[in-house]
Amino acid sequence: MSKTPKNYLLLALILVFGFVYRVVLMLRETFPPGADIGLHASIIDSITKGGNTNFLYNYYHMGGGSSVTFPGYHIFTSYIILLTGMNNYAAQTVVVSLFSSLVVVVAFLLTRKIWNASAALIVAFLVAVSRFDLEMLMWGGYPNVIAVMLIPLAFYLFLEKDRFSVVAFLVVTSLVSGAIFLTHSLSAVLFIAITLSTVVFTLVFAGRMGERRSGLILWVLPLILGAVAIAPFLIQVVPAYLGADASTFTGGVTAIKEALLATKMLPLDIVVPLLIFVFLYFPFSKYYTGKFFSLSTMLLVLWWFIPTVLTQGYLVGIYTDYNRFLYFVILPIIILIGLGFYHSARYIGQGLGWLASHAKQAPQIRLSSNKTLRRVLPHLEEKSFALIFTLILVLYAFLSVGLFAPPAQGVGLQSFYRLMNQPEYDAIQWAKNNTAPNAVFLTDAQYGWWFGGFAERPTLSAVSPEYLTNNREFAPATMASRVLDTDFLVDNGIIQVREDGGFIGRHNPDFYAKLPNQYFPYGFFTFDNTEITATFLDQKGNSQFMDLTDLSVTDQHMENNSDYASIFVTRANSYFTFTEETTVYKGIGFANLTMSIASSSPDVTFVSLRFTLHTIGTEIQAENGTSLGFFNTWDKVAGQLIFAEGQPFMTGSNFDTTGICELTYGLNAKSFTELNLYAGVYHYDANAGSDLNRQQQLYYYQGIMSQHAQTKTNKVTDLPLDVFNYHQALAAYNVSYVALRDIGQIPRFAKDPTFSLVFINYDVAIFKVVQK
């Protein structure tokens, strides 16, 4: 008992260290890292906006609309801002750093309750430097951080129920449970699952575990009473989750499902060891309690086991960010590591202590006159050795084990997730001070969340589908992504075409394959206006050549119905007019590209038209020369051009190393020419066998091309067309401004009369949408 004050002093020092470590890292470059802090700011702003608060509505995020982010953290932080006058991001930093640091205290109490105080101190320090806890802070998972502190607090109170009166226990645990339910939806589900699983298992094996079944009711009642305490909120949010938003977790939104499976799968080489090592708790249980099965051990095992199993939730039709389940496993893992360090150091200390005690009895040691030896000998005891090896193990873990973050790694995490800087924040403040409160902004994914929260403007963010949890956010996020990428897009489920229009030479057009069970299209062909050159004879008979970007855009538009979509781009100058029409048909795997060039005077005639095609793969020409294929044998994806009108010849002998193919049409001094070709990109089943010689392999790939050429106008699916026209999209979402951080995007907007530059600094350009 005499060690208790010393333990609490050490715990207090670890707590302060953890808090300072977190705050310093988060504010190291003035602005906290991560994009999610902007989402939280928008929720806080929506709560404090005035009038009746609707916790299921966010005025700014993704253009404003329904929200299913649980508001517990935001309510608490709103009060801190109102009481202290702190600015939004500073208040969020302090609040979340405090709760993240309090995990240190809860971990200490829980470990001391289940095992012992010495192991608890080790666990407390390891939690203070946990890389996963720091990472949650860095990317902005603030409600998750709060819940990760509240869940072990609830479990500690459950295990200590006999120290409280029934009324006091139910009041405290119900409040904690209600706070979890109000703060983070995934945490609430896992908390209920772990608690009820522990109760059920204990009910079945109560006799063997030495537990009274009647006492387990006190584990269930707080869940019920906590839910009752926040019932008004749950009554609103549960139908939202079980209604339209349920599809985001059950695979109903195909794009979100495919994006999650493509980017958020957890490899089995992580999952399998977790499922194996969890059972190491049972030998410790036997050592401490004399039984392999005890209530506290089963709690830790299920706390570890359930989230680990849920990382494979896609096997049963659950789709979410599977990596997030690992955040719930970390504390049980650290407790096991701390326990292992404690016993390892203890056993090493016992062994060295035994050797030291025998060495002290040796005559040459006992009778030695060496003063240094005499001063050291009394300290060569089991406890000293155990302490030294504990420090060695803890420092080794802190500095070398990936679960923990020494200062260098902490700075690395902060730098990795760093988003905001002063010029970008200045642009946000300009928008807040110089635009109408209802002005709708559009920008990239991460900046958009900051923009909505801190400019307090409805903001459409180009968020990738795997980060969406609200069904209504998918359409505006997709639209924002497309506006930032291109002017026109047509997708029939087999092939996707993107066209940047005539104001800039870049994607003019691009052709993508839609591969089975993959969300992200596979880019294969790219034409670029800056590399399409017309050679002609002017009125004086002089030879001239011009890239298409030397011509002015006279028209660009889209025509479409349920069966087709065509993109038209017309450019002209004093010599000639060039029109490009790209058409994608419903259910057909080849797009049609028609190009016409007409002179403005009979005296102007055309010599040639050269296209530069950027592509990948091995070049294969059809036997009759009317088709050209490119096979990427690594991914089993092929691109094919079928020349319907006009037969080009291919130049560029270094295609295999550059991926650039030049196609040149001879125009025979005509004053008008129309060229027509089909472009397809598709997946094929198998490569040519290695046992075939070069000629046989050529025949094999030509056979694939011939088979697909026969279907260039055949309908193979009935999927509807997905059509995007940037003019219509901007109008449909009433977009007022577009904010750009990518310098490469600026020319496309600067040259387009649809947009007018109204703000620019070193990092951000803001364009106003000119309403026509």
pLDDT in tens, 183-204: 999 999 999 999 999 999 998 8
- Whether the predicted pLDDT of 1 surpasses 50: no
Mean pLDDT computed over 523-536: 85
CB 717 within 8 A of CB 494: yes
Can you give the pLDDT at residue 216? 87
Angle, helices 88-114 vs 326-361, to 10°: value is 50
Helices (DSSP H) in 401-421: which residue ranges? 407-417
The tens digit of pLDDT for each residue in 587-627 reads 999 999 999 999 988 888 889 888 888 888 888 887 777 88
Phi-psi region of 653 (alpha: psi -120 to 50; beta: other; left: phi over 0): alpha
Instruction: Give the type of residue at 639.
Output: G
CA distance 580 to 597: 9
Residue 456 identity? E
Q: What is the pLDDT of residue 346?
A: 86
Average of per-residue pLDDT across 165-174? 94
Ramachandran region, residue 68 (left: φ > 0; alpha: ψ -120 to 50; beta: rest): alpha
pLDDT-derived band of residue 45, with 50, 70 and 90 as boundaries? very high
Confidence of residue 67 (pLDDT cuts 50, 70, 90): confident
DSSP 8-state class, residue 452: I
Instruction: Please give the single-letter amino acid code of residue 489.
Output: L
pLDDT for the residue numbered 729:
95
- Tokens representing residue 221 in the block: 């009642």
Query: What's this model's pTM, rounded to 2 decimal places?
Result: 0.88
The residues facing 627 across adjacent strands are 642
- 586 is written with which tokens? 């419903």
* Two structure tokens written together for 310: 């849920």
Candidates 352, 155, 344; CA nearest to 147 is 155
Locate tokens 């095609």: which residue? 613
User: Are 669 and 607 contacting, i.e. CB atoms less than 8 angstroms apart?
Assistant: yes
Report whether 610 contacts 668 (CB < 8 A): no
348 versus 363: the higher-pLDDT residue is: 348
- Three-class SS state of 657: helix
CA nearest neighbour of 130 among 8, 25, 260: 25
C-alpha distances in Å from residue 122, one per residue of 101, 136, 246, 338, 396:
15, 22, 42, 5, 13
Contact (Cβ atoms closer than 8 angstroms) between residue 453 and residue 88: yes
Please report, rounded to a whole number, the percentage of residues in the chain having pLDDT higher than 70. Answer: 94
Does the pLDDT at position 502 exceed 80?
no
If you ran DSSP here, which 8-state letter would residue 141 be given?
-
CB 145 within 8 A of CB 34: no
SS3 of residue 733 by DSSP = coil
| Cα–Cα distance for residue pair 468/155, rounded to 1 Å | 31
By the 8 A CB rule, do 725 and 558 touch?
yes
Work out the pLDDT band at 260, boundaries 50, 70, 90: confident
Q: What is residue 87's DSSP assignment? A: -
- For residue 573, pLDDT over 50 is answered with yes
User: What tokens appear for 274 in the block?
Assistant: 């977790």
pLDDT band at 2 (very low <50, low <70, confident <90, very high): very low
Mean pLDDT value of segment 490-514: 86
Q: Specify the higher pLDDT residue, 366 or 287.
A: 287
Adjacent-strand bridge partners of 662: 612, 651
Between these two residues, 333 and 346, which has the higher pLDDT value?
A: 333
pLDDT at position 360, please? 56
Q: Take residue 50 and report the two structure tokens written for it.
A: 């005035």
Q: Does 153 have pLDDT greater than 90?
A: yes
Give 139's contacts (C-beta < 8 A, 6+ positions apart).
33, 34, 35, 36, 417
Mean pLDDT of 170-184: 95
Backbone angles phi, psi at 181, to 5 degrees: -60, -35
Among the ranges given (282-286, 381-385, 524-528), the one the predictor scored with the smallest mean pLDDT: 381-385
CB–CB of 620/701 below 8 Å? Answer: yes
pLDDT at 149: 96
Q: If you average pLDDT over residues 388-406, what whole number do you get?
A: 91
What's the rounded Cα separation, in Å, for the pair 684 and 632? 10
The two tokens of residue 406 are 């020494």
Residues 268, 274, 277, 279, CA torsion sign = negative
Cβ-proximal residues to 194 (8 Å cutoff; 6+ apart), any chain:
151, 299, 302, 303, 306
